Amino acid sequence: ATVDHYGTGHIVFTADFSYSGSNSRTLTLTADGDIYIQGNITASGAGALSITFNASGDQVYLDGNLTTNGGAISFNAQDVHFQKTSGTQSITTNGGNLNFNSSNVYLLALSGNDTVTFSTGAGALNLGSGTLGITTTRYIMSLIYSGFGGATDNSNGVVSYGINIVAGREYTTRL
């Protein structure tokens, strides 16, 4: 089963995100709603990428793999859903800690998806105080843009504000 979500306050990555810098960095995602990662997040340079997911009281949905090159990963959410639909889904930190805190962890059980792996190397794995469960429901974010202005490409409904994201700077947005 697939469930569509609508609303505001969500963070949605619809494509892969990669970091190839030589310095260690932290990517902190803080949402008033849910966090949807539909692609992979990968660190491939000399620097580690630590990732913090803050969706307190809400959900984190992961459709891809996370690879941090030594960076830590921390989840602060009610639930974390691993929902890759084919092949093995993985979190690989190569020495960084992996901390689920009090989040419940749900694994998608559909025909075609294999396993979920957590590989921390020398880093600590903390499954926290939440529960571990299996689900057959896959969640997706339906993108709806209405009344925000900006340049609109009417062929696919994508709104572009012309913002360039530069490594080493901090960005905040609230819609």
In angstroms, the Cα distances linking 101 to 3, 105, 137, 143, 158 are 26, 10, 23, 29, 35
Cα–Cα distance for residue pair 168/175, rounded to 1 Å: 23
Nearest to 6 by CA among 152, 142, 113, 165: 142
Look at residue 17 in the predicted model and tell me its pLDDT: 93
pLDDT value, residue 11? 87
The per-residue pLDDT string of the chain (175 residues; one tens digit each, 9 = 90 and over) reads: 565 555 578 888 888 999 999 999 999 999 988 999 999 999 998 999 999 999 977 999 999 999 999 999 999 999 999 998 888 999 999 999 999 999 999 998 877 667 899 999 999 999 999 999 998 888 887 654 444 444 445 455 554 544 555 555 555 544 4
CA distances from 162 to 69, 146, 155 (A): 30, 17, 18
